[in-house]
Structure 1
Amino acid sequence: MRAADESGDPLVLASAARSGTHALLANGRYDDAMELGETTAVWLSSRIEEDDPAALSLLGMIHLRAAIAAARHQDRATATNLLGRAETLANRLGSDENHWQTSFGPTNVVLHRLSAELDLENVSYVVEHGDIDVDHMPPERGVSHRIDFARALTLAGKGDDAFTELRTAEGTSPQLVRNNPRVRETLRDLIKQAPVTGGARSSELFAMAQRCKAVQ
């Protein structure tokens, strides 16, 4: 952040702030993450007024990450507000883009809305709206969505569909799947839900659980 500040470029500073938001979220500092998002909006205000696509994308992603922070804090009102602000920016951008490696656009807003609803325990919403095309998105974004969707399907008792999502995600990015705590939790629940034979060590489900270190 110091180096970005010294650059004098608000886009560089906003990009650093985006990384800072991720770091704050990872450490459970939700209020700080949301405050950083508000500060970034001030830094980028002039570029936003000019519809600079990079500024729209960077601020949009910070709003999305802050929305997830609010959802994990069980603050639905703030999460909804931030998602709405991100959606407005995505509509101004007009399409799914990847300025400054943000992958920001209308689709990413939808994916974050689903993730927020999952954190807010609105499982039925995620199950109903989660079957969307993510093949055109960067692998990490698509895989993250499939993991969330699989979690919701598992909680809704749709084990076969959930496992299909996890297998697809693993085929796209094995490392992202095998090192994700939510995947481990989902696989353990799937094993509990499966018939007696489903938990056998020879089963495909159990094999994936071993690869992801969900079981010994």
Structure 2
Amino acid sequence: MPESPEEHIGARIASYRKLAGYTQRELAEAAFISLGWVRKVERGERVPSHGFLTAAARTLHVSVEELTGQPYRGESRSDQRVHAPIPGIRAAVRHYDLPADWYPQPKPLRDLERDVRTAGDYRAAARYSRLGQMLPKLLEELTAAVHLSAEQERRRAAGLLASAYYMAHSLTMRLGYPDLIGQLEDRMQWAADLSGDPLMRALAGWTRSYSFDAFGDYSGGLKVLASAREELESDDSVRNVDQVVMVGSLHLRESSLAAFAEDADATAHHLEKATYWAKKMPRGTDELHYHMTFGPSNVGVHEVAAAVELKRPDEAVRVAKKLNFPADMARTRQGHHYVAVARAYLSLDNKDKALKYLQDARRVAPEQTKYHPIARETARVLTHKYRRTTEELRSISSWLGVKS
């Protein structure tokens, strides 16, 4: 079994394929993926798409993280710091339903609400070390507040706890802890139901779709998203910006899963619906509500990402050239976008542009980019394809933990 996180994704796929007794052709046929892509990915000549990874993982009976080599723990102090909160988050997840007399008295809800806002700012800025430092204690205190508060305050505390679970889910997903991701989705649904807030329940559905996505169960994930959206979506019931942002964000998430499934028609349908809702944003720009960034720019970000997944790099580059981010656009969104554009340019054999966008991703969201498996693989393929590497490529590859 592969052990080294320094192995490229294709080498890990090849190792697991051989352990499972498949030839390259047999894997391609069983996973319904192109034989040419299997060969190129295993040789380190192509960056695998999300759909490719989930199909290979499902066929080989492993997780996507086992193919990507996550979590990337590294040896630096910063690497250790970003992973350090995981045991505390696990403990808070275990403690969610202990008897009320087990919990110490938490801080007042107004103070916890302020802490949740601060944690939300860290998440949107992709400051994962800072976010992680807050989460274990914040989760424990909010859990105590849910169990120790009277009815009205309990609902408010439950909404805050659902937000904290969402942020913990974001962190563990980026770092690559699939078992914890699923537990956090369950806890978030529990807290959202307790809150009685339909928008928080919708956010829980949005979040839950990631476990379906990770196993290539796109139809199941799309059903979860559609159920969450249908509770909110109609011209009669969507009356305020919070609701517009949530409905639009659900459509964008549906467009992503449809693109992973290589369903171009469904992808286009959900992007069209998202565009419709983006036009209803009162200020005509992207806004952040209920942890979701939504508006015209994020629709464009998803159009680029979908084009990359559907193997349309020219279209991805064309859309990307028209995008202008508002000054307060969440750095998580910007960072993901720049990695997608780097992939598009790499597919077009434009190494200079691919490198530029990797550098842009590092500039706006360094911690997100450093632990992003596709950012790593893009840098690795660049070094593989272009043996005469520049100092800039060597620098970012070294920073990502990619060896030439």
Match of 2:298 among 98, 104, 108: 108
The verdict on how the C-alpha distance between 1:17 and 1:47 changes in structure 2, with shifts beyond 3 A counting, is: farther
Aligned-partner SS, 2:294? coil
- 1:159–1:193 CA contact under 8 A, matched in 2: no
Q: Deviations over 1:27-78 (max 9, x none)?
A: 4331122111211122114686343211111121111111111111111111
Alignment partners' CA distance in 2, 1:44 and 1:3? 19
Is 1:182 the counterpart of 2:370? The answer is no
Q: Which blocks of at least 5 consecutive residues in structure 2 are unaligned?
A: 1-188
Alignment partners' CA distance in 2, 1:60 and 1:48? 15
Shift of 1:149: 0.3
Determine the structure 2 residue equivalent to 1:9. Answer: 197
Letter in 1 for 2:353: D
Determine the structure 2 residue equivalent to 1:97. Answer: 287
TM-score when normalising by structure 1: 0.90
Query: Which 10-residue stretch deviates more, 3-12 or 168-177?
Result: 3-12
Q: Deviations over 1:59-112 (max 9, x none)?
A: 211111111111111111111111111111111123211111211011101110
Determine the structure 2 residue equivalent to 1:157. Answer: 349
The verdict on how the C-alpha distance between 1:198 and 1:79 changes in structure 2, with shifts beyond 3 A counting, is: same
Is 1:64 the counterpart of 2:252? The answer is yes
Is 1:191 the counterpart of 2:374? The answer is no
Query: Which 10-residue stretch deviates more, 2-11 or 41-50?
Result: 41-50
Letter in 1 for 2:341: F
Which has the higher Rg, Structure 1 or Structure 2?
Answer: 2
Q: Which has the higher contact order (CA 8 A, sep 6+)?
A: 2
Alignment partners' CA distance in 1, 2:311 and 2:234? 37
Alignment partners' CA distance in 1, 2:357 and 2:240? 36
Query: Which 10-residue stretch deviates more, 56-65 or 14-23?
Result: 14-23
Alignment partners' CA distance in 2, 1:3 and 1:9? 10
Match of 1:171 among 352, 359, 363: 363
The verdict on how the C-alpha distance between 1:45 and 1:128 changes in structure 2, with shifts beyond 3 A counting, is: closer
Q: Which blocks of at least 5 consecutive residues in structure 1 are unaligned?
A: none
Shift of 1:158: 1.2
Q: Deviations over 1:192-214 (max 9, x none)?
A: 333x4317xxx331232122123
Cα RMSD (Å) of the superposition? 1.9
Equivalent residues, number: 212
Letter in 2 for 1:75: D
Determine the structure 1 residue equivalent to 2:333. Answer: 141
Match of 2:313 among 100, 123, 126: 123
- 1:47–1:55 CA contact under 8 A, matched in 2: no
Alignment partners' CA distance in 1, 2:319 and 2:313? 10
Alignment partners' CA distance in 1, 2:350 and 2:308? 15
Aligned-partner SS, 1:197? coil
TM-score when normalising by structure 2: 0.50
The verdict on how the C-alpha distance between 1:2 and 1:84 changes in structure 2, with shifts beyond 3 A counting, is: same
Query: Which 10-residue stretch deviates more, 85-94 or 64-73?
Result: 85-94
Identity %: 27
